[in-house]
Amino acid sequence: MNFIETRGNDGSHPLTVTFSEAILSPIASFGGLYVPETLPQLGREFLEKHQHSHYKELARDFLHVFDIDIDQSVIEEALACYDTFDDPKNPVPVIQVKEDLYVSELYHGPTRAFKDMALQPFGTVLSAIAKARNENYLILAATSGDTGPAALETFKNRENVKVACMYPAHGTSDVQRLQMVTEEAPNLKVIGIQGNFDDAQSALKNLLASSRFNAALKAKNVALSAANSVNFGRIIFQIIYHIHNYLELVRQGAVVLGEKVYLNVPSGNFGNVLGGFYAMQMGLPVEKLVIASNENNILTRFIHTGIYDMRESELILTTSPAMDILKSSNVERVLYALFGAERTRELMHDLDTQKVYRLRDAELEKLQTFFSADYCSDDEGKAYIKQAFKTGYLMDPHTATCFKTYETCKEKDLVMIAYSTAEWTKFSPTIANALTGEEDVQDRVALASISKEANVAIPPMIEALFSKKIVHTDSIAKESIEAEILAFL
Ligand SMILES: *Cc1c(COP(=O)(O)O)cnc(C)c1O
């Protein structure tokens, strides 16, 4: 399988690249992204064949069908990451919460958020390719809380890859911060930035644009890569669990093979739902992909009107911070799949220069055959958390947004799979507030009160954070970041 570019080719990039090349250098011509040249068709046989497969068997065969240039031994090592999940045989439990609503829990890995699903295997693959080529890579990450811990966890002590991770010093939950600052390995650097997530992100952008920084990297023989979901190396692992979930429904007798379902995904940068889109295009029986957002509702407006408009939008800080995003990078891959490279380049150019683009009527109609969308306010989310808890299901504020779209976006009488992207332990103050009304408590207090209220144990890796040694103590001004990272390298 080769990869091509969403915005066409500028003559200075190769016309096609391998999977390895696409993940080592994920930015393509004109600032575009890499996408597979064709999507293999799974067909009914593939689903039938895997009706009773374990997650890893399914994943192995899926990657085989995709035909990527990664050695089988590396793939095996990558998939072994799922053995560290709560239940190695079933790393992604699918739980029935209403007659026609099932929740796919994507958070049973080491950092208790869905980022592990893809970053865990991705870490093995990236490090193996870098090592085979005898090259060294630096991953720069700016995180609002979930990508940072998952990236550090997967890359710690890996060869040929270093990670420098920036987070807003006072902008994450206690658990998220502790997950980062207690992660000890010589190839990891964690920096608290004085400012908010936007400051962390703009610090990262400045670094990437700095010719002094890039020259220094070159002199040290280090290349830059990326671990965010513009990297197809993450997306590929995010197609698999959508297929697994469907087969789980078949196994549980909720659908018969071939019957269509809704996939209902809490979305930020659009990686998760893009995986569902690709699964659908590869033949998974999906009625529609439902996009759930928080009050940063740019995607809802886009799906309803065909206008992606960032002009008037200011980022709103919500209780589902992993979805506080205005520019959802992976939408571009959908534009490419539906409208081709030339049109994608045109639309993305409009977004870059005018902060807005508009689909034509026929284009919007096509988009709406795949997607529907709605958004959920913090107060609504809190009410859904409380309501679900009363009927026996404990969930986090990101997952809660899907309970709104379950009510507003399901037009047909079909089963819906909602995605749970974080464990309750990661956003405990919001959940405690929803359940007991207590306000502004620290994570430690909230964890204890939810544990008592819901009669669930705090998982050991979360409990242990509070007594672990803090190894990264830097909290620095934006101006000092460049020197700090170069010193680390
Ligand atoms: C990253 C994240 C999301 C958003 O996923 P995308 O793939 O970026 O759309 C939602 N919820 C949680 C908890 C996350 O960490």
Per-residue pLDDT tens over the stretch 451-465: 999 999 999 999 999
Q: Give φ, ψ of 440 to 5 degrees.
A: 50, 40
Res 71: pLDDT: 97
Query: Residue 460: is it exposed, middle or buried by C-beta count within 10 angstroms (0-12/13-18/19+)?
Result: exposed
**What's the rounded Cα separation, in Å, for the pair 329 and 90?**
30
Q: Give the residue whose CA is nearest to atom 14 of ligand 1.
A: 322
Which pLDDT score, from 0 to 100, does residue 442 have? 93
Q: Which of 228, 189, 233 shows the shortest CA–CA distance to 205?
A: 228
Using DSSP, state whether 356 is helix, strand or coil.
strand
pLDDT mean across residues, the chain: 95
Q: What is the whole-number distance in angstroms between the Cα of residue 109 and the centre of ligand 1? A: 15
Query: Beta strand 3-5 with 34-36: parallel, antiparallel or unpaired?
Result: antiparallel
Judged against a pLDDT cut of 80, whether residue 403 lies above it is answered with yes
pLDDT, tens digit (0-9, with 9 covering 90-100), for 95-152: 999 999 999 999 999 999 999 999 999 999 999 999 999 999 999 998 888 899 999 9
**Can you give the pLDDT at residue 195?**
81
CA of 215 to the centre of ligand 1 (A): 34
Contact 401, 379 (CB under 8 A): no
Question: Which atom belonging to ligand 1 lies closest to the Cα atom of 426?
Answer: 13
Residues 21-43, mean pLDDT to the nearest whole number: 94
Count how many residues are written for the chain.
489
Give tens-digit pLDDT for 428-480. 999 999 999 999 889 999 999 999 999 999 999 999 999 999 999 878 888 88
Nearest CA to ligand 1 atom 8: 269
pLDDT of amino acid 170 = 82
% of the chain exceeding 70 in pLDDT: 100
* pTM, entire model: 0.96
- Region 29-38: mean pLDDT is 96
Domain boundaries, the chain: 90-113+233-456
Pocket residue to mutate for ligand 1, from 272, 396, 420, most atoms within 8 A of Cβ:
272
Mean per-residue pLDDT for 282-291? 98
Ligand 1 centroid–CA 487 distance in Å is 32
CA angle 380, 403, 147 (to 5 degrees): 90
| Residue range 154-212, pLDDT digits in tens | 999 999 999 999 998 888 889 999 999 999 999 999 999 888 777 888 888 888 888 89
- Per-residue pLDDT band at 312 (split at 50, 70, 90): confident
CATH, range 90-113+233-456: 3.40.50.1100
pLDDT of 145 reads 84
The pair of structure tokens assigned to 370 is: 């795949």
Q: How far is the CA of 342 from the centre of ligand 1 (A)?
A: 29
pLDDT tens, position by position, 227-256: 888 899 999 999 999 999 999 999 999 999
pLDDT of residue 93: 98
Of 145, 193, 229, which Cα lies nearest the Cα of 398? Answer: 145
| pLDDT above 90: residue 226 | no
- Residue 186 CA to ligand 1 centre (angstroms): 28
Is the shortest distance between the CB of 117 and ligand 1 below 6 Å?
no
Share of the chain above pLDDT 90, in %: 86
Structure tokens at 175: 């658990």
Tokens of 250: 């078949």
pLDDT for 191:
93
Among protein residues, the one with the nearest Cα to ligand 1's atom 11 is 421
Q: Quick one: which atom of ligand 1 is closest to the CA of 267?
A: 9
b/e code 79-109 from CB counts within 10 Å (16+ = b): bebbeebeeeeebbbbeebeeebbbbbbbbb
> 299 alpha carbon to ligand 1 midpoint, in Å?
14
Cα of 468 vs centre of ligand 1, distance in Å, is 27
Q: What pLDDT does residue 210 have? A: 87
What is the arithmetic mean of pLDDT over 62-69? 96
Pocket test for ligand 1, best of 405, 421, 427 (most atoms within 8 A of CB): 421
Report which ligand 1 atom has the smallest distance to the Cα of 107.
13
DSSP calls for 258-278: T--EEEEEE-SSSHHHHHHHH
